[in-house]
Amino acid sequence: MKSSQYWTRTAGAHWVALAISALAVQGVPAVAGDLKPVKMSAPTSAAHPVPGVTEMRLDNGMRIIVKEDHRAPTVAHMVWYKAGSIDETNGTTGVAHVLEHMMFKGTKTLKPGEFSKKVAALGGRENAFTSRDYTAYFQQVQSRDLPKVMALEADRMANLVLSKEEFDKEIKVVMEERRLRTEDQPRGLMYENMMANAFQSSPYRAPIIGWMSDLETMTYRDAQDWYQKWYTPQNAILIVAGDAKPADVLKWAKDTYGKVKPRPVAERKLQAEPAQRGARRFAVKAPAENPYVMVAFHVPKLTDVDKDTDPYALEVLSAVLSGYDGARFTRELVNQKRIANSADSSYDMTSRGPSLFMLDGVPAAGQTVDDLEKALLGEIRRIAEQGVDERELSRVKANLVAGQVYKLDSVFGQAMEIASYEMVDIPYARSPDVINRLKAVSAEQVKAVAAKYFGEDAMTVGRLVPLPVDKAAPPKARGGRHG
């Protein structure tokens, strides 16, 4: 599975892949003896707007969404918690990701590592990932084994054991992961510094993996507090996609998740990001082969599927710039003008916190980061002045439709899409409307957002200043298996 940071760095690519690019496409954990069975809510009687999808809710508050796909005897089983680094506070940054690691370290009935061994014995695969907005756990198994992984996941929702001994070992793994994936990676450092400079008040300014100083002082009690605060049924969504019937999932959920006692969910108080009042610039010096530039702009996210317009146009703008082979950045800056070795754009219109539209690239030989920065901004300025032609829009929209068809081949992708919508408070049932709004974006709307959001005072620019690389140094070992 992708690392937490990489997952979030490419969150915009998730949308582009699924919708535009694929737009080609103090407390102790509750123990079993304390829990009493609760009554289950029946499946909703009204037909769900999305074919093959059934929604249910347990009386303890946990939502269940089942997406039927009976083409193969397999299922994707996921539990997503609405708790990510956006919910952290200074002093314990990284705790969401640390707890993700600790969720594999045993329960009242399972020894450390036994969860993964049991899934492997079923012939399945499992992993987890942490983002700024959520933390998710998944297994892919044969459909006949779905009740078994539901029981395993419900067990650690209720009965996780957090010991000082296991924590002290695992926190070292996380710190090494930070070194390997951020401190020893120039672009990882660049992205971390970009977020810290682009945001002033939003929790998005802190890295998902946490600041090293916070990891060094973190204790197992911090992880336990996080578990008690957020890992409760009414703060989770169960997604099952594949060869499963809703009635069966309901029955198995009653015997597993339905027995987990709910706890109150903490009140969320997210800070509003103040308006940027001038360009911000920073530099990162690190061993690297090439210089590199990143430019970020504050732009709106999608909050109302029907009323919002600009987020759809921004998503299409990003696809026009770099969403397919032969898009503007590759065609103009890499192939024709040879200003860049690589150039990219990214934007995620769905998030719990504020959104950024990012540009980045590596200058070609003989070119400087100044040249590339001007060229990146110049392409957006050209769209703001001249617009885009219908051929570009047609290409993007054809890829959108192809992506919608392609993603149906993967039950994992179907489950991911459902949960990704729901975690940012956009009902998955609105997904067809989102796609239709994207398909309806006009050339004039793309031109308008290109002119509206990319002024100099609104940008944050980061530059990587390469230092000599020690080529005699041994290659770095890979990090841990969980995100």
Identify whether the C-beta of residue 201 lies closer than 8 Å to the C-beta of residue 270: no
Give percent helix, percent strand, percent coil of the chain, each to the nearest 5.
45, 20, 35
Chain position carrying tokens 């990489």: 6
- Annotated active-site residue in 88, 100, 192, 332: 100
Distance CA 239, CA 241 (A): 7
Can you say how many angstroms the Cα of residue 415 is from the centroid of all Cα atoms in its chain?
A: 14
Torsion region of 94: left, alpha or beta (phi above 0 gives left; psi -120 to 50 gives alpha): left
Let me know if 252 is exposed, middle or buried by CB neighbors in 10 A (0-12, 13-18, 19+). Answer: buried
Concerning whether 100 is annotated as a catalytic residue, the answer is yes
β-pairing, 125-130 with 74-81?
Answer: unpaired
Q: Residues near 52 by Cβ (< 8 Å), separated by ≥ 6?
A: 67, 68, 69
Within 10 Å of residue 306's Cβ, how many Cβ atoms? Answer: 8
Distance CA 206, CA 94 (A): 9
Angle of helix 443-452 versus helix 390-407 axis, rounded to 10: 100
Provide the CB-side half-sphere exposure for 56 (13 A, CA): 27
- Torsion angle in degrees (nearest 10) through CA of 403, 345, 385, 273: 110
Q: How far is CA 290 from CA 169, 185, 201, 357, in A?
A: 36, 12, 32, 23
Give SS3 for 79. Answer: strand
Distance CA 170, CA 104 (A): 10
Provide the CB-side half-sphere exposure for 27 (13 A, CA): 19
Cross-strand bridge partners of residue 294? 360, 462
Identify whether the C-beta of residue 319 lies closer than 8 Å to the C-beta of residue 346: no
Identify whether the C-beta of residue 59 lies closer than 8 Å to the C-beta of residue 106: no
Residue 295: which H helix or E strand, with range?
strand 292-299
What's at 366, amino acid-wise? G
Name the DSSP letter for residue 58.
B
Identify whether the C-beta of residue 15 lies closer than 8 Å to the C-beta of residue 241: no
- Torsion angle in degrees (nearest 10) through CA of 438, 133, 423, 32: 160
Residue 356: which H helix or E strand, with range?
strand 355-363
Active site residues: 100
